[in-house]
């Protein structure tokens, strides 16, 4: 078995010419870590967006209530 990740430049010539399908796998731990980190950030942003939306609805309801009281004066 030959490992060539340290010499890999991303051209994919070896993958296109290799007859062994299972040999066509290369891993880059730093890249995978980066992808997992970005995924976690996206999940956090989505959760924060939902919270901001809920708070916005609350603020809108409070504002409408205050406007109703002002109009009643």
- What's the domain range around 47? 5-72
pLDDT in tens, 29-55: 777 788 889 999 999 999 999 999 999
What residues contact residue 1 under an 8 Å CB cut-off, 6+ apart?
23
Q: How many domains does the chain have?
A: 1
Q: Is the pLDDT of residue 19 over 90?
A: no
Residue whose entry in the numeric block shows the structure tokens 């708070």: 55
Sorting pLDDT into bands at 50, 70 and 90, what band is 17? confident
- Average pLDDT over all residues of the chain: 82
Residue 25 CA to residue 2 CA, distance in Å, equals: 12
> Quick one: which of 5, 62, 68 has its CA closest to 32?
5
Say what the pLDDT of residue 8 is. 75
> Quick one: which of 39, 13, 38 has its CA closest to 26?
13
């Amino acid at each position: 078995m030959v490992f060539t990740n340290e010499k890999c430049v991303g051209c994919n010539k070896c993958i296109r010419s290799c007859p062994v399908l299972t040999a066509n796998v290369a891993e880059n731990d730093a890249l995978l870590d980066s992808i997992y980190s970005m995924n976690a950030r996206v999940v956090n942003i989505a959760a924060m967006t939902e919270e901001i939306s809920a708070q916005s609805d609350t603020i809108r309801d409070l504002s409408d209530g205050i406007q109703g009281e002002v109009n009643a004066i």
